[in-house]
Amino acid sequence: MTAPTHGPDDPDGLSDRDRAVLAVERQSWSGPGAKERAIRERLGISPTRYYQLLNALLDDRRALEEDPVTVNRLRRVRDARRERR
C-alpha cells in the first residue's frame, strides 16, 4: 500500500494532495463521470491512482484526525464491501 505523502512544512500532517483527495470525497456528484473528470482536472491524476491514495488515507491516523466524518464513513463502506465478498 502506498503511504500518503507529507507536506514539507508539516512533516506530521497531511500533504496538500492528501487534503485535496479527502475534499473530493466530501462532495456529492451529479452524474456518471463527473467525479472522474474532477479527479483528473483538480488533482491531475488518474482515477485509479486517486483510489489507491484514498485507500491508503483510510488507514492513516492523520487523515482520521483531519476529517473523521469522511474517513469513518468511507471505512464503513469499505468494510461492508469486504464483508459481502
Residue 9 has pLDDT above 80, yes or no: no
Read off the amino acid at residue 30: S
Contact 16, 24 (CB under 8 A): no
- pLDDT tens profile 30-80: 888 999 999 999 999 999 999 999 999 999 999 999 999 999 999 999 999
Contact 35/24 with Cβ under 8 angstroms?
Answer: yes
Residue 65: the pLDDT is 95
Average pLDDT value for residue range 10-14: 74
The beta-strand segments (E) located in the chain are: none
* pTM score above 0.85: no
Are 17 and 5 within 8 A, CB to CB? yes
User: Residue 82 is placed in which grid cell?
Assistant: 469486504
Neighbour tally for 66: CB within 10 Å: 16
| pLDDT at res. 31 | 85
